[in-house]
Amino acid sequence: MDVVGKTAAWCALGLCWIGVTGSMVAEAQQPAPLHYVCHRTATPVHIDGKLDDTAWASAPWTSDFVDIEGAGKPVPRFHTRVKMLWDADYLYIAAQIEEPDVKATLTQHDSVIFHDSDFEVFVKPLPATPSYYEFEINALNTSWDLFLPKPYNQGGRPDNSWDIAGLQTGVAVQGTLNDSKDRDRGWTVEIAYPLKAFATRQSVPPPVPGTQWRINFSRVEWKAGQAHEDNWVWSPQGVVNMHVPERWGFLEFAQ
């Protein structure tokens, strides 16, 4: 979770919010948002976090995550990448998160998950509107979901009461959770995001080949002795702020 995301969390918890202007992003200096072609799977993905379903074999990985501010910032210490599939019912997301010492503490749904190292999804199924959805998960498979009617810098306030009905998630740790005596490889995540989950907040037409949404992924990484977290993303934002949807990547549904 970035600096503005932290502000968002306190706002979601009913505390005060300090505005952050959208002018922080210098569009002319930013590369074009990244693009992912998401293919349809003929068989549902079994959600257990292990990424071993045959359906995943044909899905391409994204490029490795970079610093949220993009070029000129240090390359992340650990690799992170994502792949996606879809069918009539779900958008499937798989994440591979390299981490030599996997840790997590939060166990209650809708906790402020970025207080742990986490994986985050930001999705905007109606690109022409200001609204979007946020989802966070830690290595204990504890999640937080919320709806944003518009970005914080436009006066938006988060709807923390929104829950992803029918959501399926799975986490697998390649190592030993919360044990620093050994060296872990990391953790993997699988998410089955129901395409009907948006219906309680707005009408989202089911995707068809050619449909485009906006999407981005973030990883918060805490390091012992470091005052601030690292923020690593798929499509760079150009600023430490995930809540600038125009900088997110493009998700294109394909056959």
Residue 130: partners with Cβ closer than 8 Å, 6 or more residues away: 149, 150, 151, 154, 156, 245
Q: What is the mean pLDDT of residues 102-129?
A: 98
Residues 155-189 have pLDDT tens digits of: 999 999 999 999 999 999 999 999 999 999 999 99
pLDDT for 56: 98
Residues 7-16 have pLDDT tens digits of: 445 344 433 2
pLDDT for 17: 30
3-state secondary structure of 209: coil
pLDDT for 5: 53
> At 130, phi and psi to the nearest 5?
-80, -5
pTM: 0.90
pLDDT for 33: 98
Q: What fold is seen in the domain 3-21+35-254?
A: Immunoglobulin-like (2.60.40)
Q: What's the rounded Cα separation, in Å, for the pair 34 and 153?
A: 23
pLDDT for 21: 39
Domain ranges (residues) in the chain: 3-21+35-254
Predicted confidence band at 1 (pLDDT cuts at 50, 70, 90)? low
Whether 207 and 193 have beta carbons less than 8 Å apart is answered as no
